[in-house]
C-alpha cells in the first residue's frame, strides 16, 4: 500500500520542483526586461546633456555662470541662429527673409546694423510678416540676438 503512495509523492515533488524552476526562470526573465528598459531610454536621456555640452564647447568665450542655458549665456551667433532663428529664417517661413537670399536681405542690410539689431531685439513688421521681439525668446541676451543677426547677415551678403 505504501508503494503507490510514495510513487505519487515522488511525481508530485517533481512537478512542484518543475514549477519552482519555471517560476525562477520567469523572475529572471522579467528582471532582464526591467534591465533592458532603462538602457533603451538612456540615449534619449543623455541627448540634451550632449547638446548642452556641445553648445558649451562651441562657445568657449562665454563667461561661466551667466545663465542656465548655454544659448542665453554665450554670444555664439551660429548656435543661437540654429536653435531659435532658423525656425523662420532658414526656409523663409512667415515672410521671414531667408538666410542666403541676398535679394531679400539687400535692402534690409542697407538699413544698417543698428537698425537690424533694433528690429531683432524689439520686433519689426513691414509688408512681409512679423519679426517678434527677440524671436519670442526673451531669455536670450541682447548680445546673443545680435550675434545671431550678424551670423544671418554674414551668410546673406552682408
Ligand atoms: C517666428 C518667426 C521668426 C523667428 C523665429 C525669427 N524671425 Fe527674424 N524675421 C521674421 C520675419 C517675418 C521678418 C520680416 C519682417 C518684415 O520685414 O515684415 C524677420 C526679419 C528679421 C530681420 C530683418 C529686420 C529688418 O529690419 O529688415 C532681422 C535682422 C531678424 N529677423 C533677425 C532675427 C534673429 C536674430 C532671430 C533669432 C534670434 C530671428 N530673426 C528669428 C520672423 C522670425
Instruction: Note whether 95 and 144 are same-domain residues.
Output: yes
Record the cell numbers describing residue 132, joined without a space: 517678434
Same domain, 82 and 125: yes
**Cβ of residue 70 lying under 6 Å from some atom of ligand 1:** no
Do 75 and 45 fall within a single domain?
Answer: no
**Percentage of the chain with pLDDT > 70?**
71
74 and 144, same structural domain? yes
- Are 106 and 142 contained in the same domain? yes
Whether 96 is in the pocket of ligand 1, judged by its Cβ within 6 Å, is yes
State the total domains in the chain: 2
Q: How confident is the model at residue 141 (pLDDT cuts 50, 70, 90)?
A: very high
**Same domain (yes/no): 35, 101:** no
Return the best residue to mutate from 135, 140, 149, 153 for the ligand 1 pocket (most ligand atoms within 8 A of CB): 135
Counting from 1 in the atom list of ligand 1, the atom nearest the Cα of 111 is 26
- 120 and 109 Cβ atoms separated by less than 8 Å: no
Looking at the structure, tell me whether residues 46 and 76 fall in a common domain.
Answer: no
Q: pLDDT tens across 81-131, in order?
A: 999 999 999 999 999 999 999 999 999 999 999 999 999 999 999 988 999
Same domain for 91 and 37, yes or no, is: no
* CA distance linking residue 151 with residue 37, whole number of Å: 42
CATH code at position 141:
1.10.760.10
**What whole-number distance in Å separates Cα of residue 86 and Cα of residue 59?**
18
Query: Cell 520542483 maps to which residue?
Result: 17
Domain residue limits at 116: 70-155
Neighbours of 106 (CB within 10 A): 13
Cα–Cα dist 150/144, whole Å = 10
In-domain check, residue 64 = no
CB 62 within 8 A of CB 52: no
Looking at ligand 1, which residue's alpha carbon is closest to its atom 9?
Answer: 131
> pLDDT tier at 25 (50, 70, 90 boundaries)?
confident
Q: Which residues contact 116 (CB under 8 A, 6 or more apart)?
A: 108, 109, 149, 153
Whether the per-residue pLDDT at 68 is higher than 60: the answer is no
Same domain, 91 and 141: yes
Residues in the chain: 158
Q: Can you give the pLDDT at residue 75?
A: 59
Is 0.75 topped by the overall pTM?
A: no
**Does residue 76 sit in the same domain as residue 37?**
no
Please check whether residues 85 and 151 belong to one and the same domain.
yes
Amino acid at each position: 500500500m505504501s508503494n503507490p503512495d510514495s510513487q505519487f509523492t515522488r511525481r508530485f515533488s517533481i512537478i512542484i520542483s518543475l514549477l519552482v524552476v519555471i517560476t525562477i526562470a520567469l523572475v529572471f526573465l522579467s528582471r532582464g526586461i526591467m534591465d533592458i528598459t532603462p538602457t533603451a531610454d538612456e540615449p534619449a536621456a543623455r541627448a540634451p546633456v550632449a547638446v548642452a555640452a556641445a553648445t558649451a564647447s562651441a562657445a568657449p568665450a562665454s563667461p561661466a555662470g551667466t545663465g542656465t542655458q548655454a544659448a542665453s549665456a554665450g554670444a555664439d551667433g551660429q548656435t543661437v541662429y540654429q536653435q531659435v532663428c532658423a525656425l523662420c529664417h532658414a526656409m523663409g517661413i512667415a515672410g521671414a527673409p531667408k538666410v542666403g537670399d541676398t535679394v531679400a536681405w539687400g535692402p534690409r542690410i542697407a538699413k544698417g546694423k543698428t537698425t537690424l539689431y533694433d528690429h531683432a531685439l524689439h520686433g519689426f513688421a513691414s509688408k512681409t510678416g512679423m519679426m517678434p521681439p527677440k524671436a519670442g525668446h526673451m531669455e536670450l541676451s541682447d548680445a546673443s540676438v545680435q550675434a545671431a543677426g550678424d551670423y544671418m547677415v554674414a551668410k546673406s551678403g552682408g
